[in-house]
Amino acid sequence: MVNSIKIYKNFNVSRTHRGSIILIGNFDGLHLGHQKLFKLAKNFKKKFALKVGVLTFEPMPKMFFNKDLKNFRISNQKQKISLLQRFEVDFVVIKKFDKKFSKTKSTSFIKNVLSSKLNAKFIFVSNNFRFGNKREGNLKQLIRYEHLYKYKIIKPKPLYKYKKIISSSLIRRLLQNGKLNQANKFLDREWSIEGKVQKGRQLGKKIGFPTANIDIEDYILAKPGVYAVKVKKQNDKKFIKGIANLGYRPTFNQKKILLEVHLFNFSGNLYNKYLTINFLKFIRKEKKFKNINQLKKQIRIDLLKAKKI
């Protein structure tokens, strides 16, 4: 059974959640490396009879400092919270990352947040964790204040697979390079996008392949092309198989990134519905066709391939 999770939008946690195990990070994608961390936290939870909390930031600091970084996330916030529930996390602090907070001194963050507000007993961070104004705070500083503020820093070793450190950066690169199978292995699940179906130009319908159009918002742009997918509506358990095109639709001179999904054996109106699209296999990269007939011919070939998966 999945436990319920308490969400805080500031550091004023309840007495029940003070004095807990705190994991700090973006945890984008909740990949195998993160999962190793949460399994260790679960052991500490049992051993010391403490609650487990996550401290994360919204927007992700890297996106806040780089306004041009539009397509970056592996998972959205809702997906992240849903995944954290599976790892027996008791509460999540989602701190708004803004200009004011970015100027917090690292010593002030340790004293006022980690100690006074959260009263953290164990703090899990990665080796390259940086915090505070101009990223002045680091692991060494956190360790230096352990005795004064009565917490213990836990820095688990990174997880290696095939001589590579499993990280969110690695998974983003794999998705961008069309290496979906490997990305899904490192995520320990199928990579997915959640989004609302929008009214499009109905180009798919006009050529005999109706599609649901989804704005990918700030999700990472995986390699533009055609994918075998499975799709479910919000609050539904049943998935429907389909095929998706992610990209710019060069045949139609489209400039905006769009995810178009065609469902097999489905009829019905999906406008304004929220869908989850699980990516199963990369079929081919996006290409520009000379005319609509060429495109239709290729779509039929793609459909046959996707139906076999």
- Going from N- to C-terminal start, the domains of the chain cover 6-161, 191-307
* Torsion sign over Cα 81, 84, 86, 91: negative
> What does the pLDDT look like over 28-76, one tens digit per residue?
999 999 999 999 999 999 999 999 999 999 999 999 999 999 999 999 9
pTM above 0.75, yes or no: yes
Q: Is 240 helix (H, G, I), strand (E, B) or coil?
A: strand
pLDDT band at 227 (very low <50, low <70, confident <90, very high): very high
Pick 162 or 102 by higher pLDDT: 102
CA dihedral 166, 169, 173, 176 (to 10 degrees): 130
pLDDT of residue 81: 95
Percent of the chain with pLDDT over 90: 78
Mean pLDDT of 161-170: 92
**Level-2 CATH architecture, domain 6-161:** 3-Layer(aba) Sandwich (3.40)
* Torsion sign over Cα 180, 182, 187, 190: positive
Q: Which fold has domain 191-307?
A: Elongation Factor Tu (Ef-tu); domain 3 (2.40.30)
Q: Is 149 helix (H, G, I), strand (E, B) or coil?
A: helix
Could you tell me if 92 and 7 are in contact, meaning their C-beta atoms sit under 8 angstroms apart?
yes
